[in-house]
């Protein structure tokens, strides 16, 4: 088992540690919660563990379905061993139902089922507030090497969406939208990195449309931890 070494980076939701293998990192999931570009801050004891477990299950499912990911192994309740990669600084958002910034930006009524899944790119840059960008912005900012790479990202994002919509619907959860991050590993392959959890997805109960994700924190709905526990329980059911 690789040795955990010094902290490489502390983000809003996770800490990334170096290991004695230069190609591997250890991700530690934090209990901290942030929203609105970290203007709103909070913490929920046990949230880190729940996200680690949820993200692990989802990454294993995606691997089983042929998606290449950074996950090597989950090594404790809140730590994963992952392949180190050069993160592509694009937040890839996939939307099935209108909510959040899409309703604000375009005036589409909350809860509208979109005629097809929409893939959006945001520039991963906290000081700019992660602005939405188009394909050409990605190219002029050199965030990707080529248009082909962008098309590949969109194609994998849609494939992940199909797998996850089907999976969550079997667990009585509607996958409303979610954010993905991709990176290039030491072999030059594009792989899915970061996490997939109620911090980065929106899940609504299939029958009641109850929100079971970070919107409970964003909108002060209460029972944040209970919602994340419910998502994990359903995933494992």
Q: Which CB sits closer to ligand UDP, 78 or 214?
A: 214
Task: List the interface residues with ligand UDP, window 91-130 (CB under 6 A).
Answer: 91, 93, 100-102, 130
Task: List the interface residues with ligand ADP, window 40-99 (CB under 6 A).
Answer: 70, 82-85, 87
Q: Binding string to ligand UDP for residues 37 to 76, with x set by CB under 6 A, is what? A: ----------------------------------------
Residue 195 binds to ligand UDP (criterion: CB under 6 A): no
Instruction: Kindly give the residue spans of alpha helices, DSSP state H, lying in 12-170.
Output: 47-64, 100-106, 135-140, 147-169
Minimum distance from residue 27 beta carbon to ligand UDP (Å) = 15
**Gyration radius of the chain over CA positions:** 17
Report the 3 state secondary structure along 179-236: EEEEEECCCCCEEEECCCCCCCEEEEECCCCCECCCHHHHCCCCCHHHHHHHHHHHHH
Residue 2 binds to ligand ADP (criterion: CB under 6 A): no
Among ligand ADP, ligand UDP, none, what binds residue 108 when CB lies within 5 to 8 Å by partner kind? none
The span from the CA of 100 to the CA of 125, in Å, is 19
How is residue 74 written in tokens?
A: 């989950």
- CA–centroid distance for 64 within its chain: 18
Cα–Cα distances in Å, from 120 out to 95, 131, 199? 8, 11, 18
Characterize the bridge pairing of strands 14-19 and 4-10: antiparallel
Q: Which CB sits closer to ligand UDP, 76 or 134?
A: 134
Among 26, 144, 180, 193, binds ligand ADP (CB under 6 A): 193
Q: Binding string to ligand ADP for residues 107 to 146, with x set by CB under 6 A, is what? A: ----------------------------------------
- 155 DSSP 8-state letter: H
Residues that bind ligand UDP (CB under 6 A): 91, 93, 100-102, 130, 177-179, 200-202, 214
């Amino acid at each position: 088992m690789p040795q955990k070494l010094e902290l490489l980076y502390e983000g809003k939701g996770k800490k990334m540690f170096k290991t004695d293998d230069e190609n591997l990192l250890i991700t530690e999931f934090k209990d901290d919660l942030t929203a609105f570009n970290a203007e709103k801050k909070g913490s929920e004891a046990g949230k880190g563990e729940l996200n680690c477990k949820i993200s692990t299950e989802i990454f294993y499912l995606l691997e089983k379905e042929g998606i290449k990911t950074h996950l090597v192994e989950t090594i404790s309740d809140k730590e994963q061993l992952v392949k180190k990669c050069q993160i592509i600084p694009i937040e890839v958002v996939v939307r099935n139902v209108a909510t959040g910034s899409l309703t604000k930006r375009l005036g589409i009524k909350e809860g509208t089922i979109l005629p097809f899944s929409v893939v959006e790119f945001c520039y991963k840059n906290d000081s700019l507030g992660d602005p939405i960008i188009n394909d050409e912005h990605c190219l002029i900012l050199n965030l990707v090497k080529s248009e082909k790479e962008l098309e590949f990202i969109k194609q994998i994002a849609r494939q992940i969406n199909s797998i996850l919509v089907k999976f969550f619907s079997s667990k009585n959860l509607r996958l409303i939208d979610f954010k993905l991050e991709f990176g290039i590993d030491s072999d030059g392959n594009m792989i899915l990195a970061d996490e997939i959890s109620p911090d980065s997805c929106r899940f609504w109960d299939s029958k009641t449309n109850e929100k079971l994700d970070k919107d409970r924190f964003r909108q002060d709905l209460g029972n944040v931890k209970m919602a994340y526990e419910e998502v994990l329980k359903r995933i494992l059911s």
